[in-house]
Amino acid sequence: MINTVKNGCLTLICADLDAMPLFSTDDQGQRFGYEPAVAQILAQHLGLELNWLFTRWSDFELALFDNKADAIWCGCAITPTRKERFLFSRPYAAFDESVLVCCDANIASPSDLEGLQVAAIAGSTNMALAKSWLGCQQVAFSGQSDDVFADMIGALTTGEVDAVVDDEPAFGELLTDPRYKLAFTVKSANLWGAAMQKNQVELKKALDSALNSLIEAGSVSRIWRQHLAGITYPSHCFTKLQD
């Protein structure tokens, strides 16, 4: 039996906001999108019930280290800095990063952002990318908001910022809105994994084994095609196991 914070359950931390096709939650508490679908088959494979702990982005780490959940499962990119604090599962996703602008913006590359206001979530890989673009003014949005993604899009709409940087699929449904367009995409292929406490070695082994089986069986690729049909399935990235 896998040792989890709640017997018989896999409890995962995420934000309760609409970021389709990645994830969303309806009024009945049902979860939809790529991340919840992969999490569901993962829990089933492990013989566990899936529970979600919803909290703000800024509180993810606190909730994990307070033993309120087993792992963070919410677009958590695997970076060297984060690996100093967390134990990561093998990747279950890999995404490039994109820049969203208003439809009339003349922006097609990082150089076009010189002197402009570029929004990203504070402390994110997206903010790190924005900081690499010389001449732009980074605007950090706090994860303490109830819906930081909506806050950034609102700022773009009102002209408070000129561009928003986020992971490519986060902008999915917005691209049907004629007010916005993708300016460009950076081929960063950030790996996403479940972030656990450093001592959760046995849990990591269980998650890795289950994810390996689901990926090899084609279950993850089927979910990818269902929710992320416009993005190429990164099969080469999923071969990269984490230490």
**What kind of architecture, by CATH, is found in domain 9-92+193-239?**
3-Layer(aba) Sandwich (3.40)
Say what the pLDDT of residue 87 is.
98
Say what the pLDDT of residue 71 is.
98
Query: Does residue 98 register a pLDDT over 60?
Result: yes
* Helix, strand, coil percent values for the chain (each to nearest 5): 35, 25, 40
Burial of 117 per CB tally in 10 Å (0-12, 13-18, 19+): middle
Say what the pLDDT of residue 242 is.
45
State mean pLDDT over 49-71: 96
User: 226 falls in which pLDDT band (50, 70, 90)?
Assistant: very high
pTM: 0.90
| Average pLDDT over the chain, rounded to an integer | 93
For 96-189, CATH gives 3.40.190.10
Torsion sign (Cα): 93, 95, 101, 103: negative
Per-residue model confidence as pLDDT tens digits over 1-15: 789 999 999 999 999
Per-residue model confidence as pLDDT tens digits over 108-146: 999 999 999 999 999 999 999 999 999 999 999 987 888
Helix or strand or coil: residue 13? strand
Say what the pLDDT of residue 27 is.
82
All structural domains of the chain with their residue ranges: 9-92+193-239, 96-189
Helices (H) and strands (E) in the chain, counts: 7, 12
Asked if residues 241 and 208 have their Cβ atoms less than 8 Å apart, the reply is yes
- Six token digits for residue 142: 């706090």
State mean pLDDT over 166-195: 94
State mean pLDDT over 71-84: 95
Query: Does residue 187 register a pLDDT over 80?
Result: yes
Beta bridge partners of 165: 99
Say what the pLDDT of residue 16 is.
87
Q: At what angle do helices 219-227 and 34-46 cross, to 10 degrees?
A: 160
Helix or strand or coil: residue 145? coil
Say what the pLDDT of residue 239 is.
65
27 Cβ neighbours under 8 A, 6+ residues apart: none
Radius of gyration of the chain (CA): 18
Torsion sign (Cα): 168, 235, 51, 203: negative
Whether 9-92+193-239 and 96-189 share one fold: the answer is yes
Say what the pLDDT of residue 42 is.
98
Query: How far, CA to CA in Å, does 168 sit from each of 20, 44, 46, 165, 226?
Result: 11, 28, 30, 9, 16
- Six token digits for residue 137: 């003014």
d(CA 88, CA 204) in angstroms, rounded, equals 7
Say what the pLDDT of residue 235 is.
84
Query: Does residue 240 register a pLDDT over 70?
Result: no
Say what the pLDDT of residue 132 is.
96
State mean pLDDT over 30-50: 96
Beta bridge partners of 9: 49
Say what the pLDDT of residue 243 is.
45
Peptide linkage before 234 cis (omega within 30 of 0): no
User: Higher pLDDT residue, 238 or 206?
Assistant: 206
Query: How far, CA to CA in Å, does 111 sit from each of 15, 130, 196?
Result: 33, 11, 38
